Structure 1
Amino acid sequence: MRIDSVPGRGAAGADAPAARPGSTTLVLLRHGETALTPQGRISGSGGSDPALSETGLRQAEAAARRLAERGGVRAVVSSPLRRAQQTAEAAGRHLGLEVQVDEGLVEADFGAWEGLTFAEVRERHPDDLAAWRASPDVAPGGTGETFSAVARRSALARDRLLARYPGQTVLVVSHVGVLRTLLRLALGAPAASLFRMELSAASLSAVAHDGDGSGSVRFLNDTSHLEDHH
């Protein structure tokens, strides 16, 4: 397994600044769409484990081609859930790399909210939704995983990658909750910022980490590779 730094293009298409020499870059790829994505249905780790839809498979291929064109990635690490694995496998094929799995990258469990839309949650459980949005220590759906817990395991997964691939570039294929958390931690932003980031299906973002562990967001929610692949 090998790794380098990767120049990127931002969400607006402008060249993103190159990471500083010696930094470890985590390129963050959200999985492609499933049948639930266009409906806005909550799909965590506590419900069904949906596969990518035909659109999601096309999105995964488009992201993989972009990453191969960009070059520099030396490892692919994925959540164990099927939609992330399928997205990672497309990248691995184009990059010539075997997909590694890190359980810490799995999506949050949303408890009783799994399969609902947020509009349905707001209608049926307005107080619970308000409490969850107000505090990272509140479990969604009563029995789900708090964002505080997601932050702890996401940070541990990040630290494993930084220790294993120093000075290299790693593709991290995961879910919106975990990837937003990694971006939030890099920014040193409060938990409420999780609700203020857009991470589209099959989007690319990147965080560069210096040797002291401090993070710098290099680009966010790049979907330019999907423009001709709807």
Structure 2
Amino acid sequence: MQLLLVRHGEPLAVSDQAGGADPALSPQGHEQAAALGAWAAGAGGGGGGGGGGEKIVEIVVSGMRRAQETAAPAARALGLDAVVDPELAEFDAGRSSYQPVHERLGSDDPDWKRITDGYYPSFVDADGFTSRVRTAFGRIVERHRDAGRESVLVVCHAGVINTFLTGHLGLDRPLYFPLDHVGLSRVLVSRSGRIRVRSVNETGHVEGLL
């Protein structure tokens, strides 16, 4: 089977939201989501589209709004109901404010510096977050390990995808890869459970929208 890991589209900024910031996509983010839907329509039919001919049989999405809005066009295009897994939420879930990456560039915030250096922010329970991510992906793999050339589209977050990839690649920093909005990473899973990272952060399907 193949995991198609996609970071959500560009979100809006949110400040001091009671119950935790859960931003919607920006207009640019909605365009990126539409481009992902068009790509998935070609990939999902198994006819040699953007997914290399592997049919997309399931869409799994984080419980956060920006991920769900990103996945919605692909779900409509493929006629699938997205499976929501709250354990695919980003490490900032529950915090009162959210600032998109493009608004944080050049910031002197110590936690932003940690992220750009490839490490979790200081407020993250690294072991707990890593365990949560591994558990969520373990469930997906268990459901589809015998699926042959079928694919699962997983729409979630940069920290989640990085944690999964760097864990299997044995890298020394959990946030090693800068991932673009709606960037696509491919992971192959054999029937024996062997995991191989095939590509990281493909962006051809959103050319001109980053």
TM-score (norm 2): 0.78
Equivalent residue number for residue 52 of structure 1: 25
Equivalent residue number for residue 221 of structure 1: 201
Unaligned runs of 5+ in 2: 45-54
Per-residue deviation, 1:193: 4.8
In structure 2, the CA distance between the partners of 1:222 and 1:75, relative to structure 1 (3 Å rule), is same
Q: Deviations over 1:105-140 (max 9, x none)?
A: 000127879546372413xx79xx66x96976xxx3
**8 Å contact kept, 1:203–1:223:** yes
Mapped partners of 1:82, 1:221: distance in 2: 21
In structure 2, the CA distance between the partners of 1:112 and 1:63, relative to structure 1 (3 Å rule), is closer
| RMSD of aligned residue pairs (Cα, Å) | 3.0
Structure 2 counterparts to residues 1-230 of structure 1, below 5 A: 24-36=1-13, 47-71=20-44, 72-109=55-92, 114-115=97-98, 117=104, 119-122=107-110, 140-141=121-122, 144-166=123-145, 167=147, 168-190=150-172, 192-194=173-175, 196-229=176-209
Mapped partners of 2:68, 2:135: distance in 1: 20
Identity %, equivalent residues? 35
Unaligned runs of 5+ in 1: 1-23
**Number of corresponding residues:** 189
**8 Å contact kept, 1:113–1:121:** no
In structure 2, the CA distance between the partners of 1:104 and 1:27, relative to structure 1 (3 Å rule), is same
Per-residue deviation, 1:173: 0.5
Equivalent residue number for residue 52 of structure 2: none
**8 Å contact kept, 1:78–1:105:** yes
In structure 2, the CA distance between the partners of 1:82 and 1:210, relative to structure 1 (3 Å rule), is same
Q: Find the residue that maps to 2:109 and give its secondary structure.
A: helix
In structure 2, the CA distance between the partners of 1:150 and 1:225, relative to structure 1 (3 Å rule), is same
Task: Return the letter of the residue paired with 2:190.
Answer: D
In structure 2, the CA distance between the partners of 1:96 and 1:213, relative to structure 1 (3 Å rule), is same
**8 Å contact kept, 2:167–2:174:** no
**8 Å contact kept, 1:29–1:171:** yes
TM-score (norm 1): 0.72
